[in-house]
Structure 1
Amino acid sequence: MKKSGIKEIVNRSINQRNLCRMFFRYDKHYWYYFPLYANDKLFLGAEEDDFIIDGYSIRRFVDVTKVQIKDDKCLEILKNEGIIESIKKPIVDISNWESVFNSLNSLNKNVIIEKESLNDDECEFVIGKIDKVYKNFVYIYHFDADGIWQEEPYKIHYTAITSVSFGTRYVEVFSKYLDELKINK
């Protein structure tokens, strides 16, 4: 599918509140999103999974291989359950990755940053708190699966990022059980 066609469907879906089935070059499976914002490079969508909105993701158009508008019984259920109307549009500037991280940092929320690939050895996953934002990279304090904060932040170059997620069940629930991050300066 051509990028112009993908962007046209996403932009139309923003205005019409369509649910989109989206395919990415780094994943064999598709994802469901209600696109909320888009520009030429990035889009922000509310992720739908089994009649639940599970946070938001910002992804790159360059990674999208195909988009389809989902118009079936599931969409009818989402409408009747009031799920579509309940979607809030977060205030996030998606002009570029720097503005994304500055916006998310002002929300004071933990985030998930991923570098996704069909090759598991190339995948990266960082979850934690934004520390410092620069033009070409961001520093993130990561916490592990035991809820232990690392002592030094990770430096992540924007060119390595395929997605940034926030407000997901995983990050929101886990964050409630973390010790306070103590930064040694």
Structure 2
Amino acid sequence: MASLNEIEGMIARMAMGDRSALASLYAATSAKLFGIALRVLDDRAEAEDALQEIFVKLWHNAGRYRSNGLSPMTWLITVARNHAIDRLRARRSQQAAPIDEVAEVADGGDTPEEAAVASSIRARIGDCLGTLDPARADAIRRCYLQGEAYAELAARYDVPLNTIRTWLRRGLLRLRECLGS
């Protein structure tokens, strides 16, 4: 793995049009950025397409990166996550029916046993979400199931961005404890 200084250097060289720097950056960071896109999009083929688009964005916007004491990986991850969320929102806006209806119609292949297990898991997660403060449970649903950005959640609940991050982190820890028992 390339050091943070090497990654910063690659970004700086990309800003000057160095294609080999783009190749080096891709080799050093594509696995991490692909993982982020895959986690948001939950579709391998779409995440692969998004990764290519992310690197095109990085190429075109490399001149905008400013070393300000933060890790260059923070900037790369932010670009990747935001792009994946944008794709997710675009996909949702093209859907004619809510995702649950589409899943039920499209899936149809579950055996009764698989359906019962999935229903049980959904119920258990719902029960665990019910143990959380309603606003925090709603924030978790909106962020991790609907792809809402932290900034949107902060505006929705009229709280600082770091408060949203804390809500989500603590909420997920409580869910993990609940589901583990």
More helix by share: 2
Instruction: Tell me the TM-score normalised to structure 2 length.
Output: 0.28
Instruction: Tell me the TM-score normalised to structure 1 length.
Output: 0.28
More strand by share: 1
Larger radius of gyration: 2
